[in-house]
């Protein structure tokens, strides 16, 4: 156990539940000061609040909320951009304002927060930024395409970040979960009498079942701990049931094969 002054400080966005909470739990029991965020700290059930974690408010869709966190948070050694939302709906029917809203929380807010914390990491020539994407960034889940698009944006952003800031001692890591058993809300967007209704709901139900049978978020907590202990972490970590194999196939198999498998899995 480190003494308080030697402990590194980790900021985890979206630590009220799911993967963010699991990461906070894994790090809190170790050698880190953990700061976790939520849009509504008062609404976090008592049992879900982790003793020792400092909770601060953050809404990634509101610029002032991000700027306030950047001002209030103090010294951060490790930033874990975890917070995010998901949606379900056909490309033709998801309202543009809802697509923009998801880009705000999953991509633009993440960029804004990262920009704001980079100067302190650059000045001390030390830092680690872990961005939680999704395997959907490489192969979008049917009728959840825009989610995959935001996550592909985060992966590209992470590559650009690594190109630019490694020289200042700042490391960049991407964790791409496949399916993890959380209660991530999935707002559904379907127009009245939609020709996509049956197929969208079928894909959603299959996805819900897959999530319910997926590994516990604690596996992501353990992975983050391993990355933090590693001197030279890799850039990309897929995680989930058969995550390595699925990533290999999605990355290397012909598009025709992946499309066929995706349709077989969800339709
Ligand atoms: N579960 C999976 O299978 C899976 C797979 C691939 C990737 N992921 C990614 O993993 C991350 C965590 O997902 P999860 O499954 O743990 O979901 P979750 O249980 O719904 O947790 C999401 C967290 O994000 C926060 N959040 C949501 N909208 C926000 C906003 N506008 N501003 C700030 N915070 C916000 C929520 O906090 P409050 O509601 O308290 O504000 C919550 O703590 C997400 O980026 C997700 O895309 C998950």
Q: Let me know if 232 is exposed, middle or buried by CB neighbors in 10 A (0-12, 13-18, 19+).
A: exposed
Active site residue 147: yes
For tokens 């949606």, what's the residue? 87
Pick the atom of ligand 1 nearest to 41's CA.
40
| Domain 8-266 bears CATH identifier 3.40.1160.10 | no
Question: pTM for the full model?
Answer: 0.97
Per-residue pLDDT of the chain (267 residues; tens, 9 = 90+): 666 668 999 999 999 999 999 999 999 977 899 999 999 999 999 999 999 999 999 999 999 999 999 999 999 999 999 999 999 999 999 999 999 999 999 999 999 999 999 999 999 999 999 999 999 999 999 999 999 999 999 999 999 999 999 999 999 999 999 999 999 999 999 999 999 999 999 999 999 999 999 999 999 999 999 999 999 999 999 999 999 999 999 999 999 999 999 999 998
> How many Å apart are CA 150 and CA 135, to the nearest integer?
12
Question: Would the CB of 98 count as within 6 Å of ligand 1?
Answer: no
Contact 167, 122 (CB under 8 A): no
> 32, 55, 147, 266: which one is catalytic?
147
Q: Where are the beta strands (DSSP E) in the chain?
A: 8-12, 32-38, 54-57, 78-81, 86-88, 127-132, 170-177, 186-188, 236-239
Tell how far the Cα of 215 is from the centroid of ligand 1, in angstroms: 16
One DSSP character per residue, 158-203 reads HHHHHHHHGGGTEEEEEEEES-------EEE---TT-TTHHHHHHH
């Amino acid at each position: 156990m480190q003494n308080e002054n030697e402990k590194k400080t980790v900021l985890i966005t979206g630590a009220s539940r799911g993967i963010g909470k699991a990461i906070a739990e894994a790090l809190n029991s170790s050698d880190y000061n953990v700061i976790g965020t939520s849009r509504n700290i008062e609404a976090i059930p008592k049992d879900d609040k982790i003793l020792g974690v400092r909770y601060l408010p953050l809404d990634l869709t509101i610029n002032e909320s991000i700027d306030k966190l950047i001002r209030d948070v103090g010294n951060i050694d490790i930033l874990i951009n975890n917070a995010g939302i998901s949606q379900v709906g056909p490309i033709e029917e998801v309202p543009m304002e809802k697509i923009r809203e998801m880009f705000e929380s999953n991509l633009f807010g993440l960029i804004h927060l990262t920009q704001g914390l980079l100067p302190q990491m650059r000045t001390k020539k030390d830092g680690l930024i872990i961005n939680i994407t999704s395997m959907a960034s490489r192969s979008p889940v049917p009728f959840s395409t825009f989610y995959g698009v935001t996550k592909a944006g985060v992966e590209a952003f992470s590559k650009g970040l690594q190109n630019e800031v490694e020289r200042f001692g700042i490391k960049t890591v991407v964790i791409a979960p496949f399916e993890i058993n959380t209660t991530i809300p999935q707002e559904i967007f379907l127009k009245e009498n939609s020709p996509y209704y049956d197929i969208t709901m079928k894909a959603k139900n299959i996805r819900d079942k897959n999530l319910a049978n997926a590994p516990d978020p604690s596996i992501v907590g353990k992975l983050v701990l391993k990355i933090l202990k590693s001197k030279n972490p890799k850039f990309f970590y897929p995680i989930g049931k058969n995550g390595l194999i699925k990533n290999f196939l999605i990355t290397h198999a012909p598009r025709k094969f992946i499309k066929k498998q995706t349709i077989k899995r969800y339709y």
